Amino acid sequence: MDWKNKTVLITGGTGSFGKKFVEMALEKYRPKKVIVYSRDELKQHEMRSQWDDSQPDSPIRYFVGDVRDKERLYRAMQGVDVVIHAAALKQVPACEYNPFEAVKTNVLGTKNVIDAAIDAGVERILALSTDKAVNPVNLYGATKLVGEKILVQGNSYAGSRPTRFSCVRYGNVVGSRGSVVQVFKKQAETGCVTVTDERMTRFWITLEQGVDFVIRCLSLMYGGEVFVPKLPSMRVTDLAKAVAPDCQIRIVGIRPGEKIHESLLSDDEVHHTVEHDGMYIVKPLFPWWGKDNWKDGRALQEGFIYRSDENDHWLTGDDLRRMAGLPLMSAAQV
């Protein structure tokens, strides 16, 4: 894809992913314009100190707006070629306690993005999803599952128009705002870190890897896919030892809506998923899908499981510390 001729809008653009995307896009791909769309004017003001929009030839613009506001989305998407939909309420406890708000942003907000993109003639829309959307046990995961479903089906609503929708789905992001890595770093100051269950495992990806994966999938997508990267796993207790090697670990019990292990593919999806060059591609089961799409993909074996405790790629403590930008552990700490 020729980024130099593309105008890109990113919802939730002041979040961890959004800021990293802006940084990497402007440095490496140099799109014609990047529109940061978010509801927090303070965070936009803080981003301006790094990426100024005051000059007429500046490639960046800031739009204050909420994905719940369809009219504002319609205005923001005029002349846009690519949309990356990263806006979401994603804190599991907050979504459990404020379910209507989670639905308004994660489901109805996604519907607004779909409607506005189709009517504005946007070419490609790629949305960020999560492993928690697979067999969800909490409201956040359930709203992201619905978001995936309506985005994929959004291709039917586009009809003969050029607009195409796809999703990327990946695991926990090292260093993102509110991640357990940040929690452990803060708790380390007290000499004790808390883990909910010693059996717990998770998939891990860095912000840079997430942005690279999104940019790659935008170039590859036909519309309708859910792209899943191959990711390493790590036990949360090992993560705690890597981030806070000199601290005591206290087991506090699993929280409502929390899984012991996460999956990136459901059992039913395996039947229409192919493996391709470092990723898995979940193909839609709709009549509009091109039967020749991803013909070079390799079908998965019957009974294939992609769950964080069944992974064949595991992180060491130093692997995680490299990902998080932390010093490597000494021999005494290992």
Q: What is the model's pLDDT at position 282? A: 97
Let me know if residue 248 belongs to a domain.
no
Catalytic residue set: 132
Let me know if residue 41 belongs to a domain.
yes
Let me know if residue 309 belongs to a domain.
no
Let me know if residue 289 belongs to a domain.
yes
Q: What is the model's pLDDT at position 290? A: 86
pTM of the shown model: 0.94
Q: Which of 256, 252, 228, 232 is nearest to 242 (CA)?
A: 232
For the segment 114-126, the average pLDDT, to the nearest whole number, is 98
Let me know if residue 25 belongs to a domain.
yes
Q: How would you list the strands of the sheet with 124-130, edge to edge?
A: 60-64, 33-38, 7-11, 82-85, 124-130, 164-170, 226-229, 279-282, 273-276, 298-299
CATH number at residue 80: 3.40.50.720
Q: In this structure, what token pair is assigned to residue 48?
A: 């301006």
Provide the residue range defining the domain that includes 212.
3-171+204-231+263-304
As for how many domains the chain has, the answer is 1
Q: For residue range 200-257, what is the model confidence (pLDDT) as tens digits? A: 999 999 999 999 999 999 999 999 999 999 999 999 999 999 988 889 999 999 888 8
Question: What is the rounded distance in angstroms from the CA atom of residue 277 to the CA atom of residue 274?
Answer: 10
In this model, does residue 9 exceed pLDDT 90?
Answer: yes
Let me know if residue 182 belongs to a domain.
no
In this model, does residue 271 exceed pLDDT 80?
Answer: yes
Let me know if residue 241 belongs to a domain.
no
Q: What is the model's pLDDT at position 332? A: 46
Let me know if residue 150 belongs to a domain.
yes
Q: What is the model's pLDDT at position 333? A: 52
pLDDT averaged over every residue in the chain? 93
Q: What is the model's pLDDT at position 143? A: 98
Q: For residue range 286-299, what is the model confidence (pLDDT) as tens digits? A: 888 888 899 999 99
